[in-house]
Amino acid sequence: MKLRIATRASNLALVQTRWVGEQIRRHFPELAIEEVHVRTQGDRIQDRPLAEVGGKGLFVSEVEAVVVRGDADFAVHSLKDVPGDVPLAEGMGILSVPVREDPRDVLVTVDGTDLASLKRGARVGTTSRRRMVQLQRQRPDLGFVPLRGNIETRIRKLHEGQCDAIVLAAAGLARTGVLDETPHSLLPPDICLPAVGQGALAIEGALGNETLIEQLKSIEDPIARIQITAERAMLQKLEGNCHSSIAGHASTRDGRLKLEAMVASYDGDQMLSATSDTYLDLTSADAIEQAHRLGEGVGDHLLSQGARDLIRQAELAAVQNQLISN
């Protein structure tokens, strides 16, 4: 029997997909794994921020379409790329969430300089509003330059001097095996709260494929599923989009689930935060529902502080900036 996995063709995406295939084959060694590579619009457009050309959903929709039309059995996505404001295709779902990598961001420099030690006026490469507004709050003197491309391209641009530092997800560096050899400093959540779902993978397939669901259940991680359920429930409550500076980080410790969240204005002048936690029995039948309620509660708290206005203003500011740049 063969399983066909739809994936983007970037190095990181292939590393993630091959890791998923290996994990499945540990439980089902008789299975053959075939990769179906998809070059998405998000991969093709490298000269503009993702928010200007359709958001992170560009990395998901075309890969998803391959599964929908039957040319692959399931897809592997970086979960942070799966939009919270756009539903998956009809009949599709996130069938498995494997063990999660470190969700934190890292600051990468040529010599490992940390955020506090960056020279005054340093240029930081990132196109993420979430990262910009949080780092600027810590270091108002920093400048930011657009940075697109895969991990290798971004690190090369750093060494070419196009910027003094870049911000990347720790998970991507860890999965590609270059974290230890790349000079970096971790950005803790109290400095830079991660993107919703960062560090996690989403395995998408047809909800009616019982055989596939049983196979993918073998690599499901209950803790990762609970964490991303809380984070995405918060995001969906806010109706956040690709223009919004929204962050969410769920953690489990000593039998409790904690969710920290942030919403900021487009320029970062206004920043709202909310935190909540609850006791959670990971083995209980309603653990997922409890996590969902926690996420919605944090979202409601942010909305009560005025998050909806910040999100709308951010969307308007992004559109205006795009018109000016064009």
Q: What is the pLDDT of residues 83-99, one digit of tens each?
A: 887 889 999 999 999 99
State pLDDT tens for residues 196-230. 999 999 999 999 999 999 999 999 999 999 999 99
- Grade residue 34 by pLDDT with cuts at 50, 70 and 90: very high
Pick the residue with more confidence: 111 or 282?
111
Tokens of 221: 């991680």
The residues that bridge with 125 in the sheet, in sequence order, are 145, 166
In the chain, % of residues over pLDDT 90: 81
**For residue 324, what pLDDT band results from cuts at 50, 70 and 90?**
low
Q: How far apart are CA 2 and CA 60, in angstroms?
A: 23
> Which pLDDT score, from 0 to 100, does residue 276 have?
97
pLDDT recorded at residue 288: 96
Give the pair of three-digit tokens for residue 57. Answer: 């959903």
Looking at the predicted structure, is the pLDDT value of residue 53 above 60? no
Question: Residue 315: pLDDT band by 50, 70, 90 thresholds?
Answer: confident
For 127-142, the pLDDT digits (tens) are: 999 999 999 999 999 9
Cα separation, 139 vs 96, whole angstroms = 39
Describe the crossing of helices 11-27 and 210-217 by its angle, rounded to 10 degrees: 90
Task: State the maximum Cα–Cα separation within the chain, in Å, rounded to a whole number.
Answer: 58
Q: What is the pLDDT of residue 309?
A: 94
Per-residue pLDDT, 57: 62
Average pLDDT, the chain: 92
Q: Is the pLDDT of residue 50 over 60?
A: no
The pLDDT value recorded for residue 146 is 92
Between 12 and 283, the higher pLDDT residue: 12
| 3-class SS of residue 135 | helix
Residue 81 designated active-site: yes
**Strand-strand pairing, 165-169 and 105-108:** antiparallel
Q: Which superfamily is assigned to 1-98+200-220 in CATH?
A: Periplasmic binding protein-like II (3.40.190.10)
Region 184-198: mean pLDDT is 97
Sketch the domain layout of the chain as residue ranges. 1-98+200-220, 105-187, 221-326
Place of tokens 């064009």: 326
How many whole angstroms separate alpha carbon 237 and alpha carbon 227?
Answer: 16
Give how far the C-alpha of residue 124 lies from the chain's centroid of Cα atoms, to the nearest Å. Answer: 20
DSSP letter, residue 261: E
Question: Of all residues in the chain, what percent carry a pLDDT higher than 70?
Answer: 93
pLDDT digits (tens, 9 = 90+) for 102-116: 999 999 999 999 999
Find out whether 24 and 218 touch, Cβ atoms under 8 Å.
yes
249-279 confidence digits (pLDDT tens): 999 999 999 999 999 999 999 999 999 999 9
Range from 19-33, 69-83, 305-319 carrying the lowest mean pLDDT: 305-319
> Which of these CATH numbers, 3.30.160.40, 3.90.79.10, 3.20.20.70, 3.30.70.120, describes 221-326?
3.30.160.40
Whether 74 contacts 212, CB under 8 Å = yes
Strands 92-96 and 74-78, by their bridges, are unpaired
- Checking if the pLDDT of 46 tops 60, the result is no
Banded model confidence at residue 246, pLDDT cuts 50, 70, 90: very high
CATH 3.40.190.10 fits 105-187, yes or no: yes
**pLDDT band with cut points at 50, 70 and 90 for residue 319:** confident
Beta partners for 261?
A: 248, 274
Q: What is the pLDDT of residue 325?
A: 60
Q: How confident is the model at residue 39 (pLDDT cuts 50, 70, 90)?
A: confident
Q: Among the options 43, 73, 81, 164, which is catalytic? A: 81
Is there a shared CATH topology between the 105-187 domain and the 221-326 domain?
A: no
What per-residue confidence (pLDDT) applies to 114? 97
